[in-house]
Amino acid sequence: MNVLVAGATGKTGLRLVKELTARGHHPIALVRESSDTTALPPDTEQRQGDLTQLKSDVCEGCDAVVFAAGSGGSAGPEGTNAVDRDGAKRLIDLAAKANVQRFVMLSSVGAGEPDPDSKLANYLQAKHDADEHLKRSGLTYAILRPVSLTEQDGTRNMRFGDDVDVGAEAARGDVASVLADAVDDEQWAGKVLRMQSQ
Protein backbone atom coordinates (compact mmCIF):
# COMPACT_ATOMS: atom_id res chain seq x y z
CA MET A 1 0.00 0.00 0.00
CA ASN A 2 1.04 3.59 -0.58
CA VAL A 3 0.99 5.10 2.92
CA LEU A 4 1.34 8.84 3.49
CA VAL A 5 2.98 9.50 6.86
CA ALA A 6 2.53 12.91 8.46
CA GLY A 7 5.26 13.40 11.05
CA ALA A 8 7.58 11.01 9.20
CA THR A 9 10.75 12.68 10.50
CA GLY A 10 9.58 12.66 14.12
CA LYS A 11 10.62 10.15 16.78
CA THR A 12 7.66 7.84 16.21
CA GLY A 13 7.25 8.65 12.51
CA LEU A 14 10.78 7.53 11.63
CA ARG A 15 10.19 4.20 13.31
CA LEU A 16 6.87 3.88 11.48
CA VAL A 17 8.43 4.55 8.05
CA LYS A 18 10.99 1.80 8.69
CA GLU A 19 8.28 -0.56 9.97
CA LEU A 20 6.09 0.03 6.92
CA THR A 21 9.04 -0.53 4.58
CA ALA A 22 9.93 -3.79 6.34
CA ARG A 23 6.34 -4.97 5.84
CA GLY A 24 6.45 -4.35 2.10
CA HIS A 25 4.43 -1.13 2.07
CA HIS A 26 5.48 2.03 0.23
CA PRO A 27 5.70 4.86 2.78
CA ILE A 28 5.51 8.43 1.51
CA ALA A 29 7.00 10.89 3.97
CA LEU A 30 5.16 14.19 4.27
CA VAL A 31 7.96 16.66 4.95
CA ARG A 32 8.35 20.40 5.27
CA GLU A 33 11.01 22.25 3.33
CA SER A 34 12.93 22.74 6.58
CA SER A 35 12.61 19.08 7.74
CA ASP A 36 15.77 17.11 8.50
CA THR A 37 15.23 14.04 6.32
CA THR A 38 18.68 12.49 6.82
CA ALA A 39 17.38 9.77 9.16
CA LEU A 40 14.78 8.53 6.67
CA PRO A 41 15.68 5.35 4.76
CA PRO A 42 17.54 6.48 1.60
CA ASP A 43 14.88 5.36 -0.88
CA THR A 44 11.90 6.82 0.98
CA GLU A 45 9.60 8.83 -1.26
CA GLN A 46 9.11 12.37 0.02
CA ARG A 47 6.18 14.67 -0.56
CA GLN A 48 6.52 18.30 0.45
CA GLY A 49 3.79 19.69 2.63
CA ASP A 50 3.27 21.72 5.78
CA LEU A 51 0.39 20.71 8.04
CA THR A 52 -0.47 24.38 8.54
CA GLN A 53 -0.95 24.93 4.78
CA LEU A 54 -1.58 21.65 3.01
CA LYS A 55 -2.05 21.52 -0.75
CA SER A 56 -5.27 19.96 -1.99
CA ASP A 57 -3.52 17.08 -3.80
CA VAL A 58 -1.36 15.93 -0.87
CA CYS A 59 -3.19 12.58 -0.51
CA GLU A 60 -3.38 11.74 -4.21
CA GLY A 61 -2.39 8.15 -5.01
CA CYS A 62 -2.37 7.11 -1.34
CA ASP A 63 -4.14 4.01 -0.03
CA ALA A 64 -3.74 5.00 3.60
CA VAL A 65 -2.71 8.01 5.69
CA VAL A 66 -1.13 7.95 9.13
CA PHE A 67 -1.11 11.10 11.24
CA ALA A 68 1.92 10.66 13.49
CA ALA A 69 2.75 14.34 13.78
CA GLY A 70 2.25 16.43 16.87
CA SER A 71 3.51 19.30 18.90
CA GLY A 72 3.21 17.37 22.16
CA GLY A 73 1.83 20.58 23.57
CA SER A 74 5.23 22.27 23.34
CA ALA A 75 4.33 24.72 20.57
CA GLY A 76 2.00 26.83 22.69
CA PRO A 77 -1.78 26.94 22.21
CA GLU A 78 -1.63 28.59 18.78
CA GLY A 79 0.94 26.18 17.34
CA THR A 80 -0.74 23.17 18.90
CA ASN A 81 -4.11 24.11 17.44
CA ALA A 82 -2.57 24.78 14.03
CA VAL A 83 -0.95 21.31 13.80
CA ASP A 84 -2.76 18.89 16.09
CA ARG A 85 -6.27 20.19 15.45
CA ASP A 86 -6.55 22.22 12.25
CA GLY A 87 -3.75 20.46 10.34
CA ALA A 88 -5.12 17.05 11.24
CA LYS A 89 -8.68 18.03 10.29
CA ARG A 90 -7.52 19.39 6.93
CA LEU A 91 -5.54 16.21 6.21
CA ILE A 92 -8.61 14.12 7.10
CA ASP A 93 -10.75 16.14 4.68
CA LEU A 94 -8.19 15.79 1.89
CA ALA A 95 -7.88 12.05 2.54
CA ALA A 96 -11.65 11.67 2.27
CA LYS A 97 -11.64 13.65 -0.96
CA ALA A 98 -8.90 11.37 -2.36
CA ASN A 99 -10.87 8.22 -1.40
CA VAL A 100 -8.14 6.97 0.91
CA GLN A 101 -8.96 3.49 2.23
CA ARG A 102 -7.89 4.08 5.82
CA PHE A 103 -6.83 6.93 8.09
CA VAL A 104 -4.80 6.05 11.19
CA MET A 105 -4.56 8.67 13.92
CA LEU A 106 -1.87 8.76 16.59
CA SER A 107 -3.78 10.44 19.39
CA SER A 108 -3.12 10.46 23.14
CA VAL A 109 -4.49 8.98 26.31
CA GLY A 110 -6.78 11.63 27.79
CA ALA A 111 -8.04 12.82 24.41
CA GLY A 112 -11.34 11.01 24.88
CA GLU A 113 -12.42 13.30 27.70
CA PRO A 114 -9.88 16.12 27.98
CA ASP A 115 -9.28 17.33 31.55
CA PRO A 116 -9.51 21.16 31.49
CA ASP A 117 -7.23 21.29 34.56
CA SER A 118 -4.47 19.22 32.98
CA LYS A 119 -1.14 20.82 32.02
CA LEU A 120 -1.81 19.41 28.56
CA ALA A 121 -5.42 20.60 28.44
CA ASN A 122 -5.08 22.50 25.15
CA TYR A 123 -3.13 19.69 23.49
CA LEU A 124 -5.64 17.05 24.59
CA GLN A 125 -8.55 19.20 23.45
CA ALA A 126 -6.90 19.66 20.04
CA LYS A 127 -6.40 15.88 19.78
CA HIS A 128 -10.01 15.31 20.87
CA ASP A 129 -11.34 17.68 18.22
CA ALA A 130 -9.26 16.00 15.49
CA ASP A 131 -10.35 12.52 16.62
CA GLU A 132 -14.02 13.50 16.57
CA HIS A 133 -13.62 15.04 13.11
CA LEU A 134 -12.10 11.77 11.88
CA LYS A 135 -14.99 9.75 13.31
CA ARG A 136 -17.45 11.93 11.39
CA SER A 137 -15.43 11.95 8.14
CA GLY A 138 -16.85 8.79 6.56
CA LEU A 139 -13.33 7.36 6.32
CA THR A 140 -12.44 3.93 7.67
CA TYR A 141 -10.33 4.94 10.65
CA ALA A 142 -8.26 3.69 13.56
CA ILE A 143 -7.37 5.89 16.53
CA LEU A 144 -4.54 4.89 18.87
CA ARG A 145 -4.24 6.61 22.25
CA PRO A 146 -0.96 5.59 23.90
CA VAL A 147 0.08 6.58 27.40
CA SER A 148 3.35 8.49 28.05
CA LEU A 149 5.87 7.73 25.30
CA THR A 150 9.43 6.50 25.84
CA GLU A 151 12.34 6.23 23.40
CA GLN A 152 12.50 2.43 23.78
CA ASP A 153 11.92 -0.04 20.96
CA GLY A 154 9.67 -2.17 23.16
CA THR A 155 8.99 -5.91 23.09
CA ARG A 156 5.67 -5.90 21.15
CA ASN A 157 4.02 -7.07 24.37
CA MET A 158 1.22 -4.54 24.75
CA ARG A 159 -2.07 -3.92 26.50
CA PHE A 160 -5.07 -2.18 24.94
CA GLY A 161 -8.39 -0.64 25.91
CA ASP A 162 -9.90 -0.28 29.37
CA ASP A 163 -7.17 -2.36 31.03
CA VAL A 164 -4.51 0.24 30.23
CA ASP A 165 -2.86 1.92 33.20
CA VAL A 166 -2.89 5.62 32.34
CA GLY A 167 0.22 6.08 34.48
CA ALA A 168 2.19 3.47 32.51
CA GLU A 169 4.47 3.99 29.51
CA ALA A 170 4.40 3.13 25.82
CA ALA A 171 7.60 2.44 23.87
CA ARG A 172 7.77 4.33 20.58
CA GLY A 173 8.79 1.12 18.82
CA ASP A 174 5.64 -0.58 20.05
CA VAL A 175 3.52 2.40 19.00
CA ALA A 176 5.02 2.38 15.49
CA SER A 177 4.32 -1.35 15.21
CA VAL A 178 0.66 -0.85 16.15
CA LEU A 179 0.26 2.07 13.74
CA ALA A 180 1.62 -0.15 10.96
CA ASP A 181 -0.82 -2.91 11.98
CA ALA A 182 -3.71 -0.46 11.87
CA VAL A 183 -2.95 0.49 8.25
CA ASP A 184 -4.30 -2.78 6.86
CA ASP A 185 -5.57 -4.97 9.72
CA GLU A 186 -9.36 -5.21 9.61
CA GLN A 187 -9.44 -5.71 13.38
CA TRP A 188 -8.47 -2.06 13.72
CA ALA A 189 -11.23 -0.66 11.48
CA GLY A 190 -13.37 1.78 13.44
CA LYS A 191 -11.45 1.22 16.68
CA VAL A 192 -10.41 3.81 19.27
CA LEU A 193 -8.07 2.17 21.77
CA ARG A 194 -5.75 3.20 24.56
CA MET A 195 -2.40 1.42 24.59
CA GLN A 196 0.58 0.73 26.85
CA SER A 197 3.73 -1.37 26.64
CA GLN A 198 4.23 -4.19 29.13
Q: Confirm if 133 and 94 have CB atoms less than 8 A apart.
A: no
Give dist(CA 168, CA 183) in Å, integer.
Answer: 25
Active site residue 141: no
> Distance between CA 59 and CA 122 in Å, rounded?
28
Identified catalytic residue from 67, 103, 123, 188: 123
Q: Which of 56, 151, 142, 136 is nearest to 105 (CA)?
A: 142
Instruction: Specify whether the CB–CB gap between 92 and 66 falls below 8 A.
Output: no
Q: What sign has the CA pseudo-torsion 77, 139, 172, 116?
A: positive
Amino acid at 68: A
Per-residue b or e along 99-129, where b marks 16 or more CB atoms closer than 10 Å to that residue's CB: ebebbbbbbbbbbbebeeeeebebbbbbbbb
Instruction: Return the number of other C-beta atoms located less than 10 Å from residue 84's C-beta.
Output: 30
- Tell me the catalytic residues: 123
